[in-house]
Every structure is written in structure tokens, then in C-alpha cells.
Structure 1
Amino acid sequence: MTRSAELLVQPGGATGAEVRGIALLLHGGTVNGHGRPSRLAALGLNAPAKRLAELGRGAGVAVVRLRYRFRGWNGAEASTLVDTEWALETLRRDHGDVPVVLVGNSLGGRAAFRAAGHPNVVAVAGVAPWLPPGEPVEQLAGRRVLIVHGDRDRSDASAADSLAYAERARPVTNVRRLEVANAGHFLLTRADDVWAITTNFTLATLTNRDPSLPTEDPSTPLRTPLPIGYGTR
């Protein structure tokens, strides 16, 4: 049986003719695997999806989650990227040339950054993104970029790799990268702060506002700490 990717519209967000911007959320997964995507990985985006829909509807922001065909990237197949590119084309067909912010977690982060060259994409936010050595950066030109990573993440989606990626991308565009102190890959103890700053960045971009991040100056260090309590502001 052939599987198909699927777009899931978050209830509470803008729909139909009222859509003036889209947040496309891409969940995590595995390096390899042709099994079904993990439900647990998808559930990790529940909180930011609800927050984005609630805060963004008045500004015409639709929130859409992508359900991949497979749980893995799968080498040269780049399965997650293929699904993301399909999603972007489907959204353009349905809503026209509205701006899109890609929000990718872990595996989804790699797909988000790879797909950033799509003409509708205006920004990319990566939460603990998987950015292995050799990933291209040229497609980020003209896009806003945010990376949030735990400084103790030594998984395949390591903090060291995202830092190296950000350093290579900085000559191409304005990259903001924040580190969560003493946190590993899942960022559980600081989830409120991580998703608050990510949703703020996403909504500000889609509504043409300044995201008011702790890294306003483009020359700010790429290991700037994420302020404790940001999610309660």
C-alpha cells in the first residue's frame, strides 16, 4: 500500500478566505525508517500548535501540521523533505502566495531548513533541529532564522552541529540562535520558554512585527542563553 503525506489543520486558527499567513509545523522522527511516523513525536507539537492558533487567528494565521509518510529521513530519499515540499505546494494551491513560516523540531528541523528556498517561505524556526555537517545554507537568503537548542544535546541532532550550521549561515542571512542551559534534546524542563519564543517569532514574522528576541543585534553571539521565564511573559 502506498502511503501519502497529510496536512492537518489546527482547530481555532484562520481558515478559508481569512488566511493571510501560515505556520507549517514539522515534527520529529528518526534518521532512517519506513514505518509510520511516531505519534509521540507529533504530540510534542500540540502545545505550540494550539498557542499559534489561539494567538494568530485574529491576524489571519492558519496553523497546519504535516503528517509524514515515514518516520525517517532515509538517506538520499530525503523522505521528510519530499513531504514538506509537497505540503508547501499544496498550501500554495489552496491559499495562493501567502507567507509561510516553517517550524521544525528535530528531524522536522532539517526538512524546514532545506525547504526554506520555497518562494512562499519567509522564515524558519528550528527547535533542536537536526542539521548534520554539509547541509546547504544558500536557500536561507532573505529569510528570518531562529534556532533554539539545548546546550547538552549530543544526539544526532546535536547542539554542536546546529551551531556550526548557524555560523555558516550567518553570512547569508540574519540568524538568531539561542541555547537552553543544561538541557538535552527534548528540552522538557524549559518547554514553556522554548515554545513561547518560537511562537512569538512565528507570529511576529507573519504579522510584519519585530519578533523582539533577546538577540536583536545580528552580531549577537550564536550561543545566547534563552532567558528563564520567557514563557511566562
Structure 2
Amino acid sequence: MFTRQERRPELSERQGAQEVRAVVLLLPGGSVKSHGRPWAFLEKGLRTLAARIAERGADAGVAVHLLRYRYRGWNDADTAADARWALAEIERRYGKVPVALVGNSLGGRAAFAVAGEPAVVSVTGVAPWLPEGEPVEHLAGRRVLILHGDKDRSTASAALSLAYAERAREITPRIQRCELPGDGHFLLKHADDCWTMTTDFVLATLTDAAPPAWASEGELQHR
């Protein structure tokens, strides 16, 4: 399956629980087309998130892994194939544990692409790249969070994620989309808020933790 330049996807070392009962899989950004190696700097923010989730979720059996793709680009759904590999690898290591997906930008598209896999209970897109026409039917039964800066005019625009969320709401009412005012694609002004909200959300979907106070299912705008 993975023959081009003999590269293979990898999972980072486990953070968090030693006795694993649930997993958060983090999917970093990249580019639209490239067979170059992934950019390490795009993992930086997700490493901050991984540490938060691992610390808060360890007692509940939550472990965290970050996926390193074979290639920098989406290409012909290479990134989604790597995400499916990661889900299979998680099952091989830990058994049939629930998984929460968190994807940033390109990784957001990958996360939503594989959200219909049986282990997945929730998916979070942080400034996700969700082109027009992306399928939503497989989100049935999943909890969904989308965080997006309202000034994002990149390929992964806020307008596209809003259109996606509006279609997805017809499939699952368990969806929130939160716009972060005045912020662009990299969410520099709201980074801490973004990681806190994501941590609250994924732990609520994987454990008995109460839903975060800001959450309102079915809401597509939050300021």
C-alpha cells in the first residue's frame, strides 16, 4: 500500500494513560499537493494540545498520539489513507477503544474523511480544510466541533467550513461550530482558547466528564 519512496506513516510516542481506555489522534496540517516530507513546524501547536489532553485525561485512561504522514500533501487522499492506517494501528495496540479525532487545516479534512470509521466517536476540526462537496453522511452518530477564525481567507476558509457544518447538521444534531472573531487561519489571537475548548470537548466525548459550559449542540456560530 505504501510504496512511493518507501515511506510509511508513523504515530508519535504515546502520551497520557498507561492503561489505555480511549485515544485522541491528532492530525497536523500540510499542503494541497506535495510528496515532500511533512513540515515539522506544523506539529508545534498540536504538541501543546497533546500535553494538555494527556495531563487532564490520564486518570480517565486517555492516551494521545500525533500522526506523522508519509507526505506533506493531500494529493489523491494520501493523508486520509494515513489516517485510516493510524486508526487500524491504534486498534492493534489497544483493542477496540473509542477514538476522538482532532485535525488542523489539511488534517481537518483527513479527520472528517475518516470520521465514519467504527472506532471514531467525535471529530474536531481546527481551521479545517473542507472543500465544497465533501461528504457528510458518515458523520451520523458522531459528535462534531469546528473552530474557525472568521478572517480565514485561505484555501481552508471559514465560509467553506460553515457551509459544511450546515449540511452536517442535517445528519447529526450533535455539532458545534465556533467562530473566533478577528482571527485568521493560524488562530494566533485565540490559540489558548482554541486548545482549551478542544481539550474540554474531546474529554467530554471520551469520558464521563460533563460537557463544557460553552457547548450548545446544533449551534453553528459562537462568539
> TM-score normalized by structure 2?
0.95
1:191 aligns with 2:191: yes
Letter matched to residue 8 of structure 1: S
Q: In the aligned structure 2, how far is the partner of 1:108 from the partner of 1:66?
A: 9
Aligned match of 2:53: 52
Aligned match of 1:36: 37
What SS class does the counterpart of residue 204 from structure 2 fall into? helix
> Superposed, which structure 2 residues align to 1:92-171 within 5 Å?
92-171=91-170
Structure 1 stretches (4+) deviating beyond 3 angstroms?
none
> Superposed, which structure 2 residues align to 1:13-28 within 5 Å?
13-15=16-18, 18-28=19-29
**Contact 2:175–2:217 (Cα < 8 Å) also in 1:** no
Q: Which runs of 5+ in 1 are unaligned?
A: 226-233
**Contact 1:10–1:50 (Cα < 8 Å) also in 2:** no
For the aligned residue pairs, the C-alpha RMSD in angstroms reads 1.1
Letter matched to residue 14 of structure 1: A
Residues 181, 121 of structure 1: CA spacing in aligned structure 2 closer, same or farther, 3 A cutoff? same
| Percent identical | 59
Q: In the aligned structure 2, how far is the partner of 1:213 from the partner of 1:157?
A: 28
**Contact 2:30–2:106 (Cα < 8 Å) also in 1:** yes
In the alignment of these two chains, the number of paired residues is: 218
Aligned match of 2:209: 209
Aligned match of 1:178: 178
> TM-score normalized by structure 1?
0.91
Deviations 1:64-113 (A, max 9, x none): 00000000001xx2010000000001111111111000000000000000
Q: In the aligned structure 2, how far is the partner of 1:210 from the partner of 1:37?
A: 36
Q: In the aligned structure 2, how far is the partner of 1:224 from the partner of 1:144?
A: 17
Letter matched to residue 21 of structure 1: A
How far has the Cα of 1:213 moved from its partner?
4.6
Aligned match of 1:85: 84
Q: In the aligned structure 2, how far is the partner of 1:213 from the partner of 1:109?
A: 24
Q: In the aligned structure 1, how far is the partner of 2:57 from the partner of 2:210?
A: 15
What SS class does the counterpart of residue 24 from structure 1 fall into? strand
Aligned match of 1:2: 6
What SS class does the counterpart of residue 115 from structure 2 fall into? helix
Q: Which runs of 5+ in 2 are unaligned?
A: none
